[in-house]
Amino acid sequence: MKLAGARARSWLNAPPANCPGVLLFGPDAGLCAERAEAVAKKFSPNPDDPFSTTVLSADDLTGDPARLADEMVAQSLLGDARLIRLRLSHERGAASIAKTIKALDARPQTCAAKLIVEAGDMTPRSAIRKAFEGAKHFAAIACYADSQADIANMVHQTLGDLSISIAPDALDAFVPLLEGDRRMARSEIEKLALYKGYGQEEGAKVTLADIKVLAAGAGAAGLDDIVFDAMAGNAITMDASLQRALAGKTNPHSVLAALQRHSVRLHQASALMAAGNSMDEAMRNLRPPVFVMRKTAFGTALRIWPEAALARAVAQSLECEKNMKTTGAPAEALLGRLLIALSSYAARRRR
C-alpha cells in the first residue's frame, strides 16, 4: 500500500502489528535512514542484536534470489522477533524481489520476520516500488527532501532544546546549506550546537558570522577530509586525517556513515552522467548540490570511479557496517581496512 502525508506519519509513529514490512525510498537518503532506524526500534526490541537482525544488500540477493524469501519465513532459534534490513544500491534483482513481496503479501501469515527496505529514488515504473505500493499488507513510503520551512523548524527546535537562539539572518543563510539530506542536516545542526558550546553559556545566540565561519570550514571538515581523500586515492593524507579523528574520539561509525553518504552521492552523480548530464550538471542536480569548495575533489573521484565500482564500494561499506556491529572485531580496524582498500583502488585507477 502506498502511504503519504498524514497516513505515512501515522504509520511511522505506530506501524500496524499485521504489517510484515515497509519500503522507504526517495532522494533524501538521510531521511530514509532516519525513518528506517525509527521503524527498526518499533519492529524489534533490540534491532542491533546480530542474532535477531539480518542485514542484506542488493548484491546478496543478486547472487541468491531466494534468500529474501528464506529469511522472511525462517523462525528465530530464540523465539524472539526477527528483523531483516535490506539496503538497495541498485535494482538489478528487482524482478525476483518484487515476486517475493507479492508472494509474501498473498500469505502474510508465513512471515516470521519484519522487513525494512531502504532504497534511493525509484521511478513509478520500478518493479519493487510497484510491488510494495500494490501490496495489501506491505507499505511503501516515499522520503522527499524537507522544505525550507521544515528545516527552519528543525533548526529552531534542536537549538532551542539547548537554550541556543539563532538570528533571522543567520537562519536564512544556514537553511539553504541543509537542503537535500536529513542526516546531513542534523549533523550540521549538531556541529553548530557544538560550536556554540551546547548552550552552556547563558544567552548563547548564533549569528551570521558564526554561519560564515562554519560554511567556510565545510570544505575542510574532518570527516569529509577522510572520505574525499579515500575515494581520490590519497592514502597517506587519508590515514593521517583518520588517525587525527580517532585520536579526537570521533566514532568510527560516524566516519563510515560519512563514507556511505559520499559513495552514494558519487554513485548518483555517475548515474546522472550516464543518463546524459555533464559532470557539472550532475553535481548541481544532487541534493544538496556539491559544495563549491569540494567540486574539484568530487569531480576527480567521478573520473576515477566507474558506476559499477561505486556500486561495489557502497556494498562494501554496508558489509563493513554489518561486521562492525556483529563480529566483535575492532571497529577502527575494520574501518581502516575498508578505507585502505578503497584508496588503493582509486590510486591504481589514477595511474
Note the pLDDT of residue 219: 37
Q: Could you tell me the residue range of the domain that residue 226 belongs to?
A: 221-350
* CATH code for the domain in which residue 97 is found: 3.40.50.300
Here the cell at position 151 is 528545516
- As a whole number of angstroms, the distance between CA 204 and CA 198 comes to 9
pTM reported for the whole predicted model? 0.60
- Quickly count: other Cβ atoms within 10 Å of residue 109's Cβ: 9
Residue with cell 523548524: 153
**How many structural domains comprise the chain?**
3
Q: Please identify, among 218, 252, 269, the residue that sits at the C-terminal boundary of a domain.
A: 218
* CATH code for the domain in which residue 163 is found: 1.10.8.60
- Element housing 140 (H / E): strand 139-142
- As a whole number of angstroms, the distance between CA 219 and CA 233 comes to 18
Q: What single string gives the DSSP state of each residue in 192-256? A: HHHHTGGG-STT-EE-HHHHHHHHHHGGG-HHHHHHHHHHHT-HHHHHHHHHHHHHTT--HHHHH
Residue bearing the bigger pLDDT, 285 or 78: 285
Say yes or no: 260 and 198 in one domain.
Answer: no
Say yes or no: 231 and 190 in one domain.
Answer: no
Say yes or no: 175 and 62 in one domain.
Answer: no
Say yes or no: 297 and 212 in one domain.
Answer: no
Going by pLDDT thresholds of 50, 70 and 90, the confidence category of residue 292 is low
Say yes or no: 61 and 103 in one domain.
Answer: yes
Beta strand 21-25 with 53-57 is unpaired
Q: Please identify, among 91, 116, 142, the residue that sits at the C-terminal boundary of a domain.
A: 142
Say yes or no: 19 and 32 in one domain.
Answer: yes
Say yes or no: 130 and 11 in one domain.
Answer: yes
Say yes or no: 43 and 118 in one domain.
Answer: yes
pLDDT in tens, 216-262: 444 335 688 899 999 999 999 898 888 888 887 788 888 998 899 89
Question: What residues pair up with 205 in beta bridges, in sequence order?
Answer: 165
Say yes or no: 97 and 14 in one domain.
Answer: yes
Q: Please identify, among 180, 202, 218, the residue that sits at the C-terminal boundary of a domain.
A: 218
Say yes or no: 23 and 110 in one domain.
Answer: yes
Complete edge-to-edge strand list for the sheet that includes strand 82-87: 2-3, 139-142, 21-25, 113-118, 82-87, 53-57
